[in-house]
Amino acid sequence: MSGNLEHLTEKQYQVMASSKEQKSKLWKDCMMAFLFGGLICIIAQTIKDFLLSSYFAENVYGFDEEGAAAITTMIMVFLGAFLTAINVYDNLGRIAGAGSAVPITGFANSIVSPAMEFRSEGHILGVGAQMFIVAGPVLVYGTSSAVLVGLLYFLLK
Amino acid sequence: MAQKTGKQTYLITRPVYVKNAASVVGPREKAGPLGKYFEAWEDEDFGEDTWEKGESRFVGAALTSLLTKEKVSSDEIDCVLSGDLENQCTASSCGLKDSNIPYFGVFGACSTMGESLALGTLLVDGGGFHNVICMTSSNFCAAEKQFRFPMELGGQRPPTAQCTVTGAGAILLTDTPCKTRITHVTPGIIENYQIKDANNMGAAMAPACASTVKMHLMDLGRTAADYDLIVSGDLGILGGGLFKEIMELHGYPVSNHKDCGELIFDPKTQDTFSGGSGCGCSAVVLASYILREMNAGRWNRVLFVATGALMSPVSVKQGDPILGIAHGVVFENL
Amino acid sequence: MGLLVKYLLVFIIGGVLCAIAQVLLDKTKLTSARILVIYVVSGVFLSAVGIYSKLVAIGGCGATIPLLGFGHALCQGVFKAVDELGFRGIFTGGLGAVATGIVMAVVFGLIASFVSKPKSKIQ
């Protein structure tokens, strides 16, 4: 092999480098992801149950199951977007890891954060074009696989 | 004219001196362990509306600070060599657009300070240039946006990751005698050890650093002990350890080693993982801490090796390995 | 007791789904973008074979709020549309079912880009 380091082979170095790698604190990270992820779900459940409660039905509006779920999604997306806009969600992400990335609030964060970042490149090619740099893959593969199972369902029905 | 010694090292025969240096850093650097050595600091955006414009302001501010300190006008500067991490080095060109100094843009990723110093030294050594400014910059937010994710995206980074330094450092080289001179330069070769993890730059750069330091010592028949200090650019905590291990393996143990990326932040309190990185990292540490302590007589002979990881977001996505490079420059007190 | 157990199940199922993603993040070299794609695609297929509906029946929002639930909604939307519209439903059902979340996020993203600036966090 070329290079100045005759006593160091590629394989040897790969082993050396990975042995030095400091590992993530798996237990702590998982605990945080569990706690924050669970908490976000609890918040959503509380909102949904409140929307379905008899108090809400009598005083405001009587939602059915589907309507309540849609409004809950809207509120959760708003919360994620709001916490992103006030520069808080990334701090949450640093602590909670997957616990804040996997819930729908994280989906909102992944759309709102590039929108804010790329404003400096204009509203058309910056905000408009870059909004889905993170969430795009989720939509592409989510909708495509839904079409695939839909096709199978249609054929097998 | 520089004289080739051995395979990669050049002896500077027409003396090149370090006249003065200046640095401007960001808030995180100012709050770090070397904070008191940095004479000026600004927010990452430098009051501008984009990170990129902010980085250009850092470049301009470092240059102005250097010229003001030395009370020289820009007409007396023969050229400035500058580089950064932004696409097509726009931080440097935009930052220097009003300077009226002949400008060369250079790129060597995070090794750019070593590259610009080596080239600047050779220009002055060649006899045609008398006063040359070598400088680089980087900006945490601009680098995050270009190489990773938007600032507000919630997420974690692995412990091997490094944190881009915000700041610009500038050094004025001259042929009129001063206390500290540059005696040798050792340009580095590209070392490829097939590291593909963009979150582990230290591991990609450590072999290149060892390669340059080893050739330098071999070419001059020296050992690491002949230096008061060997300072690497931005290997970080992880890469620094790997560098020493590789040197040991090749029969050149290094005990007097420091790394700019390790010096600039306190990983315990600053959440900076493996340490600092970026073009600005080695530039601001050299321009403040290292040269000032040399001037105070703490060290008299220092080998400065700026290290770079040659890659782009495209090359990483296409699965290409991250190449390492390192350029060495020897500073010596008279 | 009913309410407490119900909320406990929401918490545990939501938490565990997030913790699994965290294990993938820490233990493999998979990027977060890949893990999110794996999650949404898994959600679609788990829903298609009928497993995910059972999880939703137990865990409520603990199962619907994580990204797997997004996949579940896509899949159920397509199934429902196919039942109602036939072939055309394959293409209209998926996004229709998740439109609320996406459209809200896009609109809020646009608003945020006008009113808010990204900030660097200093430690």
| Residues B150 and B21 both lie in one domain | yes
**Does residue B267 have a pLDDT over 90?**
no
Average pLDDT over residues B226-245: 96
Residues within 8 A of A (CB atoms), B 250-289 only: 250, 271, 274
User: How close, in Å, is residue A2 to chain B by CA atoms?
Assistant: 8
At C2, the pLDDT band (50, 70, 90 cuts) reads confident
User: How close, in Å, is residue B7 to chain A by CA atoms?
Assistant: 10
* pLDDT at residue C1, rounded to an integer: 53
Average pLDDT over residues C6-21: 97
What are the φ and ψ backbone dihedral angles of C52, each rounded to 5 degrees? -65, -35
- On whether residue C123 sits in a domain, the answer given is no
- On whether residue C120 sits in a domain, the answer given is no
Average pLDDT over residues B270-292: 95
Q: Are residues B250 and A8, on separate chains, in Cβ contact within 8 Å?
A: yes
**Does residue B89 have a pLDDT over 70?**
yes
- On whether residue C121 sits in a domain, the answer given is no
- Residue B59: domain span: 3-174
- On whether residue A140 sits in a domain, the answer given is yes
Last residue of a domain, one of B111, B146, B174: B174
Based on the structure, what is the number of domains in chain B? 2
Q: Are residues B152 and A24, on separate chains, in Cβ contact within 8 Å?
A: no
| Residues B165 and B187 both lie in one domain | no
| Residues B169 and B186 both lie in one domain | no
**What does DSSP assign to residue A62?**
-
Average pLDDT over residues C41-59: 96
Chain B residue numbers touching A114 (CB-CB < 8 A): 150, 153
Whole-number mean pLDDT of chain B? 96
Based on the structure, what is the number of domains in chain C? 1
CATH code of the domain covering residue B323: 3.40.47.40
- On whether residue A5 sits in a domain, the answer given is no
Q: Going by DSSP bridges, is the β-strand pair B229-232/B257-259 parallel, antiparallel, or unpaired?
A: parallel
Q: Which of A7, A14, A117 sits opposite B194 (nearest CB)?
A: A14
Q: Are residues C70 and A45, on separate chains, in Cβ contact within 8 Å?
A: no
User: How close, in Å, is residue B157 to chain A by CA atoms?
Assistant: 8
Residues of chain A with pLDDT under 70: 1
| Residues B158 and B259 both lie in one domain | no
| Residues B143 and B202 both lie in one domain | no
Read off the pTM.
Answer: 0.94
Last residue of a domain, one of B151, B174, B197: B174
| Residues B162 and B30 both lie in one domain | yes
* pLDDT at residue B6, rounded to an integer: 96
* pLDDT at residue B78, rounded to an integer: 97
Complex ipTM, two decimals? 0.93
- Residue A139: domain span: 25-156
What are the φ and ψ backbone dihedral angles of B99, each rounded to 5 degrees? -80, -20
- On whether residue C41 sits in a domain, the answer given is yes
Whole-number mean pLDDT of chain C? 94
Average pLDDT over residues B139-163: 92
Q: Using an 8 Å Cβ cutoff, are C4 and C35 in contact?
A: no
- On whether residue C122 sits in a domain, the answer given is no
Average pLDDT over residues C77-88: 96
Percent composition of chain A: helix, strand, coil (DSSP 3-state, to 5): 80, 0, 20
Q: Are residues C69 and A104, on separate chains, in Cβ contact within 8 Å?
A: yes
- On whether residue A3 sits in a domain, the answer given is no
- Residue C60: domain span: 2-115
- On whether residue C79 sits in a domain, the answer given is yes
Number of Cβ atoms within 10 Å of the Cβ of B36: 9
Q: Using an 8 Å Cβ cutoff, are B273 and B160 in contact?
A: yes
Per-residue model confidence as pLDDT tens digits over B159-203? 899 999 999 999 999 999 999 999 999 999 999 999 999 889 999
* pLDDT at residue C122, rounded to an integer: 60
* pLDDT at residue C39, rounded to an integer: 97
| Residues B153 and B184 both lie in one domain | no
* pLDDT at residue B273, rounded to an integer: 87
Based on the structure, what is the number of domains in chain A? 1
Average pLDDT over residues C37-53: 97
Last residue of a domain, one of B174, B203, B218: B174
- On whether residue C101 sits in a domain, the answer given is yes
Average pLDDT over residues B67-74: 95
Q: CA-to-CA distance for B140 and B142, rounded, in angstroms? A: 6
